[in-house]
Structure 1
Amino acid sequence: MKKILILFLFIPLFSCNDWLTVEPEDSVTFVNYFKSESELEALYNMVQSRMKYVCFGRQPYFYSSIDADDVQSDVDGYRKLDVLKYTGTSNTQSWTAFYNVIYLTNVMIENQHRFENVSKERADFWLGQIHFAKALAYFRVAQIWGDAPITPSSESIDPIGKSPALEVLQEALKEARAALVLPTHDKLVGATGAAITTKQCASLGTVNTLLANICAWMGGLTGERKYWEDAERYASEVLDGKAGVYDLESMNGLIENVLGKNRKSDEIIYAISNNALDYDRNYESFQKEAPGHFLISYPYLTEDKSEIANLVNNSKNAYTRIKVTTVKEIYPEENDLRRKEFWYKLGELKYYSKSESESESESETDLESKEDSLYSPYAHIAKWRYMVRQMKEDIAGMPAILTDCDWVFWRLADLILLRAECRVQLDMTDEAVSDLDRVRERAGLAGYAGSTSKEALREEVFLERRRELFGEGQYYFDIVRNGYFRKYLLGGYRTLTDEDVKNGALYTKVHSNAFRKNTLMTQNTYWQWQE
Structure 2
Amino acid sequence: MKIMQTRFKIGLLVGLLAFTVSCKKFLEVKPVDTLSGSEFWKNEDDAVKGINGAYRLLLDKFLESTLYNTGDFRAGWWNWFNKRNLAALGRNDMLGGDLNSSDNSAGPKNWTQFYKAIAAANLCIDRIPGIKDPAFSAQNRKALVAEARFIRAFTYFYMVRLYGDVPLQLDPYETAIKPRADMISVLDTCIADLRSCEQDLPITYEDPTNRAVRATRGGALTLMAHMYMWKAGFDAAHKQECWQQTAALGKRVMDLGVYELLPYTKETFQTIFKGRSLEGIFELSLDINYGVQFHSLIAQWVLHEPIIHSSGDLYGGFGSEITPKRAFLDKIYPAGEPDKRFDLWFDDPYSNANPQSAMYLKFSSVSNPSTRDYDANFLIFRYADLLLLRAEALANLGNQDAEAITLLNMVRTRAGARNYSGGGGTALQDAIFLERAKELWGEGHFYYDLVRTGRVMDRNQCENYLTPEQFQRRAWTWPIDLGAVKNNPLIIQNEFWSR
| Counterpart amino acid of residue 338 in structure 2 | N
Q: Is the aligned partner of 1:70 residue 2:80? A: yes
Residue 146 in structure 1 maps to residue 117 in structure 2: no
CA distance in 1, matches of 2:242, 2:92: 30
Q: Give the Å deviation of 1:158.
A: 1.8
8 Å Cα contact 1:255-1:384 kept in structure 2: no
Alignment match, 1:216: 229
Q: Cα distance, 1:386 vs. partner? A: 2.8
Structure having the higher Rg: 1
Question: How big is the shift at 1:177?
Answer: 1.9
Pick closer, same or farther for the CA change 1:486–1:378 going to 2, 3 Å: farther
Distance 2:364 2:289 in 1: 19
Match of 1:295 in 2: 302
> Which piece of structure 1 moves more, 481-490 or 427-436?
481-490
What SS class does the counterpart of residue 289 from structure 2 fall into? coil
| Structure-2 separation of matches of 1:277 and 1:400 | 15
Alpha-carbon displacement from aligned partner over 1:315-340 (angstroms, at most 9, x marks no partner): xxx82122456424321143211111
Q: Say if 2:58 is the partner of 1:42.
A: no
Partner of 1:171: 189
Higher mean displacement: 82-91 or 156-165: 82-91
How many angstroms apart in 2 are the aligned matches of 1:509 and 1:122? Answer: 40
Distance 1:170 1:53, change over 3 A: farther
Change (3 A) 1:16 1:418: closer
Residue pairs, 1:207-286, within 5 angstroms? 207-223=220-236, 224-239=239-254, 241-242=255-256, 244-252=257-265, 254-260=268-274, 263-281=275-293
User: Where does residue 416 of structure 2 map in the other structure?
Assistant: 444
- Give the Cα–Cα distance (whole angstroms) in 1 for the partners of residues 31 and 93 of structure 2: 51
8 Å contact from structure 2 (residues 212, 281) kept in 1: yes
Residue number in structure 1 paired with 2:341: 338
After the TM superposition, which of the residue ranges 225-234 and 5-14 deviates more from structure 2? Answer: 5-14
Cα distance in 2 between the residues matched to 1:296 and 1:66: 18
Aligned counterparts of 2:137 and 2:146: Cα–Cα separation in 1: 14
- C-alpha contact 2:338 2:416 (8 A) present in aligned 1: yes
Q: Which residue of 2 aligns with 1:99?
A: 115
Aligned residue runs from structure 1 range 17-28, under 5 A: 18-19=26-27, 21=29, 27=34
TM-superposed CA distance for 1:203, in Å, is 0.8
Structure 1: give runs of 5+ residues left out of the alignment: 352-375, 391-398
1:502 Cα deviation after fit: 2.4
Deviation at 1:379, TM superposition (A): 2.6
Distance 1:212 1:84, change over 3 A: closer
Distance 1:474 1:195, change over 3 A: closer
Once the two structures are superposed, the pairs formed by residues 111-150 of structure 1 within 5 Å of their partners are 111-117=127-133, 118-150=136-168
Quote the Cα distance in structure 2 between the aligned partners of 1:54 and 1:246: 28
Say whether the 8 Å CA contact 2:77–2:463 is kept in structure 1.
no
- Find the residue that maps to 2:210 and give its secondary structure: coil
Q: What are the superposed Cα offsets for residues 119-167 of structure 1, whole Å, 9 maximum, x if unpaired?
A: 2111101101101001101111111100110114111222211111111
Counterpart-to-counterpart distance in 1, 2:209 and 2:361: 30
> Matched residues, percent identical?
21
Partners of 2:301 and 2:99 lie apart in 1 by 21
State the SS of the aligned residue for 1:4: helix
Aligned to 1:110: 126
| TM-fit CA distance, 1:68 | 1.6
**Per-residue deviation, 1:426:** 0.8
Is the Cα–Cα contact under 8 Å of residues 54 and 97 in structure 1 kept in the other structure?
yes
Q: Where does residue 52 of structure 1 map in the other structure? A: 59
Aligned to 1:350: 353
More helix by percentage: 2
SS in 2 for 1:50: helix
Measure, in 1, the Cα distance between the counterparts of 2:127 and 2:49. Answer: 14
For 1:479-490, what aligned pairs fall within 5 Å after superposition? Answer: 479-487=450-458, 488-490=461-463
1:331-388 CA-to-partner distances (Å, cap 9, x unmatched) read 114321111111124458535xxxxxxxxxxxxxxxxxxxxxxxx6853111123321
Give the Cα separation in 1 of the matches to 2:105 and 2:351. 35
Identify the residue that residue 431 of structure 2 maps to in structure 1: 460
Code of the residue aligned with 2:410 in structure 1: it is R
- Other structure's SS at 1:504 match: coil
In structure 1, how many angstroms separate the alpha carbons of the residues matched to 2:363 and 2:10?
Answer: 43
Q: Is the 8 A contact 2:283 2:381 kept in 1?
A: yes
Note if contact 1:67-1:292 (Cα within 8 Å) is conserved in structure 2: no
State whether residues 420 and 435 of structure 1, in contact with CA within 8 Å, keep that contact through their aligned partners in structure 2.
yes
The code of the aligned residue for 2:105 comes to: N
Output the CA distance in 2 between the equivalents of 1:69 and 1:23.
Answer: 45
Mapped partners of 1:407, 1:504: distance in 2: 27
Q: How has the CA–CA distance of structure 1 residues 264 and 526 changed in structure 2, closer, same or farther, with 3 Å as cutoff?
A: closer
Amino acid in structure 1 at the alignment position of 2:244:
E
Matched-pair contact (CA < 8 Å) for 1:4–1:29: yes
Deviations 1:187-232 (A, max 9, x none): x36xxxx675331111111111111111111112213210111111
Partner SS, residue 49 of structure 1 = helix
1:159/1:517 contact within 8 Å kept: no
Contact 1:324 1:379 in 2 (8 A): no
* TM value normalised by structure 1: 0.80
**Structure 2 matches for 1:366-385, cutoff 5 A?**
379-385=358-364
Distance 1:183 1:102 in 2: 19
- Higher mean C-alpha deviation, range 471-480 or range 171-180: 171-180
CA contact (8 A) 2:391 2:405 kept: yes
Give the whole-Å Cα distance in 2 for the aligned partners of 1:331 and 1:22.
Answer: 51
Distance 2:300 2:447 in 1: 15
Number of residue pairs aligned between Structure 1 and Structure 2: 470
Q: Distance in 1 between matches of 2:163 and 2:95?
A: 19
Aligned partner letter, 2:434: L
Task: Could you tell me which runs of 5 or more consecutive residues in structure 2 were left unpaired when the two chains were aligned.
Answer: 1-8
Shift of 1:58: 2.9
Alpha carbons of structure 1 residues 325 and 58: separation in structure 2 relative to 1, 3 Å:
closer
Tell me, in whole angstroms, the C-alpha distance in 1 between the residues paired with 2:408 and 2:10. 50
Rounded Cα–Cα distance in structure 1 between residues aligned with 2:191 and 2:321: 40
- Measured in 1, the distance between the counterparts of 2:11 and 2:482 equals 24
- Mapped to 1, the partners of 2:77 and 2:327 lie a distance apart of 13
Q: In 2, are the aligned partners of 1:388 and 1:404 still within 8 Å (CA)?
A: yes
Tell me which amino acid in the other structure corresponds to 2:80.
Answer: D
Q: TM-score under structure 2 normalisation? A: 0.85
1:85 matched to 2:112? The reply is no
Q: Is the 8 A contact 1:281 1:400 kept in 2?
A: no
CA–CA separation in structure 1 for the residues paired with 2:480 and 2:144: 32
